[in-house]
């Protein structure tokens, strides 16, 4: 599947001057003063050389437990309206129902996002999509909380079919029960796959909700730039210690300024013919190396097939656990000696093992060539 959706480029709805699209602001709008101080400090970063293009502030907070802070609701919207005028930057908030959308529009919100707990529900996404018909507001769509690419794709398609062209995806990571240093697993291959399905869809990284902790924000923001994301949405609070939601992951505006100043922004491609030539040469070498890998695998599989025939003719079981344990261990050790990641080599051999078993099962059930 690969479809060029009718999506406007980011630059149709925001002036970026070649910089990544940066949205920053508190997890939640808690008071007019908190919002004002945070948004002004973020805007002032722009004089210091960093660039914040838009302010985020949650009004309705989807919380796992009912007794957590669920956002200030409609009461926060007039604060946003006032502060937006004072600061002169566009504001974004999360909507989870058609009513939220209606209120957001009434108070002049510039962009809306659909949260991870909404993207999982096609009924709700469709209701929001229906409400968006004929409305010209950019919509950012977060990945679903569970690692299911189809749900993300489906939500984007529903919004797009409602006629919305200003769309971007937000990668906020995936909920996990596995022990992990992050609050949500990044699973980078999922947004990369999304991008290969919709090549013109802008992708914005949300290191805050992946990290869950301030200390991991910089590495995640850099990784997003390294794989050429179009922007970042980062939570920033004037005083994170007293934040009513997501306190551990919010940064002061000053700390956010530091993070942005250190960020190395990569170019998608180079314009220098010399660099381009060098890149081409490296790609040619990679192509040759890949061909050798495929030849080596084909060679291995031919031996596997021969072994399968031998096992079949002598009535030996295909799978011998001791042999495979030895294969996994020795290959990982060989890989390590050649400076390869041990886990990577072990994973690779799991796949090779599965294919070898499949191949030998095929041979086992094929006619014995010795039979007349
Ligand atoms: C948020 O952006 O504050 C939020 C609730 O995000 P998510 O939907 O990614 O959990
Ligand atoms: Mn949050």
Indicate the burial class of 236 (C-beta count within 10 angstroms; 0-12, 13-18, 19 or more).
buried
- Which ranges in the chain belong to alpha helices (H)? 32-45, 76-87, 98-106, 116-119, 122-132, 149-161, 189-197, 207-211, 217-226, 253-262, 273-313, 321-337, 342-365
Domain count, the chain: 2
Residues 218 and 350 in one domain: no
Residue 128 tokens, joined: 């929001």
Residues 223 and 149 in one domain: yes
Q: Rounded to two decimals, what is the model's pTM?
A: 0.86
Residue 109 tokens, joined: 């919100």
Is 268 among the domain residues?
A: no
Is 105 among the domain residues?
A: yes
- For residue 295, the enclosing domain spans 273-368
Residues 229 and 337 in one domain: no
CA distance 273 to 276: 5
Pocket residue to mutate for ligand 1, from 209, 211, 233, most atoms within 8 A of Cβ: 209
Residue 184 CB neighbours (<10 A): 21
The finding on whether 195 has its CB within 6 A of some atom of ligand 1 is: no
Task: Report residues of the chain scoring pLDDT below 50.
Answer: 370-372
- Domain with residue 315: its CATH number is 1.20.59.10
Is 4 among the domain residues?
A: no
Question: Residue 368: its pLDDT value, please?
Answer: 61
Q: Which ligand is nearest to the CA of 93?
A: 1
Question: Residue 268: its pLDDT value, please?
Answer: 76
Query: Ligand 1, atom 1: nearest CA belongs to which residue?
Result: 27
Residues 225 and 286 in one domain: no
pLDDT in tens, 31-82: 999 999 999 999 999 887 889 999 999 999 987 788 888 999 999 999 999 9
Question: Residue 372: its pLDDT value, please?
Answer: 39
């Amino acid at each position: 599947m690969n479809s060029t959706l009718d999506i406007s480029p980011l630059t149709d709805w925001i002036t970026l001057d070649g910089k990544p699209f940066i949205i920053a602001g508190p997890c939640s709008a808690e008071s007019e003063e908190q919002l004002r101080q945070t948004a002004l400090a973020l805007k002032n970063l722009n004089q210091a050389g960093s660039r914040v293009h838009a302010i985020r502030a949650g009004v309705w907070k989807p919380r796992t437990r009912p007794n957590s802070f669920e956002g200030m609701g409609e009461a926060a919207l007039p604060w946003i309206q006032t502060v937006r005028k004072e600061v002169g930057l566009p504001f974004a908030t999360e909507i989870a129902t058609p009513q939220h959308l209606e209120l957001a529009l009434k108070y002049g919100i510039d962009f809306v996002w659909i949260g991870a707990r909404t993207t999982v529900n096609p009924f709700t996404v469709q209701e929001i999509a229906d409400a968006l018909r004929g409305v010209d507001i950019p919509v950012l769509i977060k990945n679903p909380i569970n690692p299911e690419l189809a749900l993300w794709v489906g939500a984007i398609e529903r919004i797009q079919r409602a006629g919305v062209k200003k769309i971007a995806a937000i990668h906020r990571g995936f909920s996990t029960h596995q022990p992990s240093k992050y609050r949500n697993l990044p699973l980078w291959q999922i947004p990369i796959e999304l991008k290969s399905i919709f090549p013109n869809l802008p992708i914005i990284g949300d290191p805050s909700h992946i990290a869950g902790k301030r200390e991991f924000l910089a590495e995640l923001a850099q990784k997003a730039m390294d794989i050429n994301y179009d922007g970042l949405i980062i939570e920033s609070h004037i005083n994170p210690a007293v934040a009513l939601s997501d306190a551990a992951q919010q940064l002061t505006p000053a700390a956010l300024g530091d993070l942005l100043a250190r960020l190395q922004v990569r170019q998608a491609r180079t314009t220098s013919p010399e660099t381009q030539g060098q890149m081409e040469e490296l790609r040619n070498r990679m192509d040759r190396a890949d061909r050798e890998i495929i030849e080596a695998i084909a060679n291995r599989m031919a031996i596997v097939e021969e072994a399968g025939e031998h096992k079949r003719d002598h009535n030996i079981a295909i799978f011998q656990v001791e042999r495979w344990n030895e294969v996994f261990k020795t290959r990982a050790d060989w890989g390590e000696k050649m400076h390869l990641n041990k886990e990577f080599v072990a994973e690779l051999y799991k796949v090779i093992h599965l294919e070898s078993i499949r191949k030998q099962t095929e041979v086992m059930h094929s006619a014995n060539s010795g039979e007349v």
